[in-house]
Amino acid sequence: MNLRTAARGFVAFLLSVPALQGNPDRAVTYPSSNICALSGSTVEIRCNYKYPYANTVEKKLWFTNIHNEPVDLKDDTDYTGRVEYSCVEPSCSRRYSSCTGTCTLIIKDLTQSDSAEYKFRITTNYGGKYSGVPGVKLSVTDIQLKVVIRPSNINTVQLECHSMCDKTGLTYNWYMNGVLQPHHGRFHGFHINSDLSASCAIEGSNHLSSPSVYAPETPSVGVTPPGVIKEGSSVNLTCTSEANPVAKYTWSKVPTGHSPGHTVQGQQLSFHPIQSSDSGQYLCQAKNDLGTKSSPISIDVKYGPKRTFVRPSPPGEIKEGGSVTLSCSSEANPAADYTWFKDNQPLHWEPRRPYTLDSVSSKDRGTYRCQAENQYGYLGSNSVFIDVLYAPKTPSVSVRPPGEIKEGGSVTLSCSSDANPAADYTWFREHGGSVEELGENYTISNITTELGGNYYCEARNAVGLQNSTLMFLNVTATSSVTATTVARGTVAVLLATILLLIFLWMRRKRASRNARGQGGRPDTGEESPPCPVYDNL
């Protein structure tokens, strides 16, 4: 086969059988019944025809067997601009009473769709129509490359260049990344790398080459539907890469920390529905026998707050004057803003900062919670009770019944103080020390005036103590005779008694004097005291 023939299509004469129809004087024959040609080449299909001497050829045409009625290929839109007829005027012989001629069909720029059975027909002035049956079967093929052997050396690959026309004795040139290689033949080995591209062509006709085989190009990855990805929606990740042979795809999630990566085979990775835990970076790997390429894509799943918690630091009870910080945490994308509540009343605080009490007081005691919120939802937290421990405040004291306290009655003193933990109470009397009475209430039954005076209570807990102000108890006597009256009466009685004794003494003395004046003399013996004479008082 010379270069000119090669350039025109590499026609192979695989089978040559004359095709006859009817009378031997009227026939169409084809030198070859099967022809193999390469895509992009030009093929020539030749026929010989014969008809009676007295006839005249009115029409010649080539057609395929794909139509019910023959359609001239020159009028077939599938062959427009690609078909030519090269026919030689018939030679007629009166001696043999016949005419013979040849006609060649030329088809350029062959494609695989041109594979068909082609026939030639002549029509004479006497209405005779002659076609060769069967026609010529044309097979159009591409040059193919395939991996036939994977040697033990995993860094090399062996390729085979072939076509259906190989029996015609074709010779191939090899190219790597467009550069002619010093090798000829059906097989050739290449070193594997991610930029490898290889092809083969017919020697002497480099325009008739195979499709290139090459490692995958950097994959293109995308997400469907585009835009914001919300939790609960359906999402598909798609990976495409130009490669020959066709690439195989593997999806994997880039591991975070020590979590293992999960791989999925296939060009598409689907989430039905997608979860917040699916957020992260995914890697698509396109691989064939010639190399591997990968591309990443990040998935950011948006969702409302989840698992909202409040944590105090330090936890537990806190003494007045100390410091405590409340932190609110919530899983959300985008990050949530927080609203703080105390006893279900909102607090004015910055949306994303912890709530800090630098100097805790008793008024800070209460139940706290937070609410996390973003554009996809909101969620309240648990409740945390802040128990502030503080010493008793100044106790307040009261008396029952109120008003005047009368001797002999009953009175109850009460003491109360704001304290945490609750205070214990002890009662005291001013200048009298403890009355040894414990408890919030102190009751005095059958009170006397001596129990009047100032009283106060002491409130004490584990944090500290505080005394109340003084409360004065003014106890009044219940009798109508006052102490002054009694005192005056007592003095009067004493004075009267003294005056009476003086009077009796003076009277006795006068009587004795009268007796001596009458001449009498006293007895020599012991004088008996005169008997007192008492007048009616």
For the chain, where do the domains classified as CATH 2.60.40.10 start and end? 3-141, 221-299, 303-389, 396-476
Q: What's the topology of domain 303-389?
A: Immunoglobulin-like (2.60.40)
Least trusted range by pLDDT, from 12-16, 230-234, 289-293, 418-422: 12-16
Name the region of 365 (left: φ>0; alpha: ψ -120 to 50; beta: rest).
Answer: beta
**Size of the chain in residues:** 537
Alpha carbon distance 61, 121 (integer Å)? 6
Low-confidence winner among 4-13, 36-45, 264-273, 487-496 (lowest mean pLDDT):
4-13
> What is the predicted pLDDT for the residue at 521?
44
pTM value is 0.58
CATH pick for 144-214 out of 2.60.40, 1.10.357, 3.40.50, 1.25.40: 2.60.40
Q: What is the pLDDT of residues 25-44, one digit of tens each?
A: 568 899 988 998 888 889 99
Per-residue confidence (pLDDT) for residue 25, from 0 to 100: 58
Fold of 221-299: Immunoglobulin-like (2.60.40)
CATH assignment of 3-141?
Answer: 2.60.40.10
Q: Mind listing the pLDDT tens digit for each residue in 60-80?
A: 899 987 666 788 999 888 898
Q: What share of the chain is helix, strand, coil (3-state, %, to 5)?
A: 10, 45, 40
CA distance 230 to 221: 19
Q: How far is CA 433 from the centre of its chain?
A: 70
Whether residue 198 contacts residue 176, with contact meaning beta carbons closer than 8 Å, is answered with: yes
27/101 Cα distance (integer angstroms): 11
496-528 per-position pLDDT tens digit:
888 888 888 888 887 777 665 554 444 444 444
Q: What is the mean pLDDT of residues 438-465?
A: 90
How many whole angstroms separate alpha carbon 293 and alpha carbon 331? 35
| Mean pLDDT over each residue of the chain, to the nearest integer | 82
Query: What's residue 532's pLDDT?
Result: 47
**Does 396-476 carry CATH code 2.60.40.10?**
yes
pLDDT at residue number 168: 59
